[in-house]
Structure 1
């Protein structure tokens, strides 16, 4: 099985990067503009010369947009959001950083209003 690549200035094999490297910082986002997973928006900006394109969750919510850095389970926003109330990966139960929701506006248009 080929492991899905996570790009960025990563510091370990679970998607933590130089910007976000606490134990629960183990998700990556697939950027619409690149169709590549990056550890964070700062990694994307430092490694690319183009602006970030945000997903419109009214149209893109069922695409695989988020990946667990621990087990590489790809999730739709809906799957991530539904399981985020538990703050764990639905596949391997690794804990996720609850603060990630503070950055939804960088990746998504029309995120759930309760999450922003």
Structure 2
């Protein structure tokens, strides 16, 4: 567990910028909130490792609420703000890993 600004990020070997045991590159500086527990995790694998329940992606109806955390500066972003950010934090310009988009359906509810 790691405190980033006013938020706590849960996971395995979470560092001060939200990197974890699973994703540890310079660009791995985001954490995602899961609707099932409303906690931030650096990745879906961390959620799987430290909880005892199935991950539930952040619901579309709540996309206007902060659900993504920049580990570099502690800014919490809404899903639309995160998606529009072009893989960079709009507050501090830290680079986000573009590979996270491959797992977007695990973090955010998609169109059915």
| Shared fold per TM-score greater than 0.5 | yes
Normalised TM-score (structure 2): 0.89
Mapped to 2, the partners of 1:11 and 1:74 lie a distance apart of: 17
Mapped to 2, the partners of 1:45 and 1:23 lie a distance apart of: 23
Say whether the 8 Å CA contact 2:10–2:39 is kept in structure 1: yes
Higher helix share: 1
Mapped to 1, the partners of 2:7 and 2:43 lie a distance apart of: 16
Mapped to 2, the partners of 1:10 and 1:95 lie a distance apart of: 21
Q: Deviations over 1:77-96 (max 9, x none)?
A: 0110111x2x2101111000
Superposed displacement of residue 56, structure 1: 2.9
Identify the match of residue 27 of structure 2 among 13, 24, 27: 24
Residue in 1 that maps onto 2:96: 96
Q: Which aligned segments of 4 or more residues in structure 1 are displaced greater than 6 angstroms?
A: none
Mapped to 1, the partners of 2:11 and 2:95 lie a distance apart of: 21
Residue in 1 that maps onto 2:72: 70
Say whether the 8 Å CA contact 1:10–1:39 is kept in structure 2: no
Mapped to 2, the partners of 1:54 and 1:75 lie a distance apart of: 15
Normalised TM-score (structure 1): 0.86
C-alpha RMSD over aligned residues: 1.3
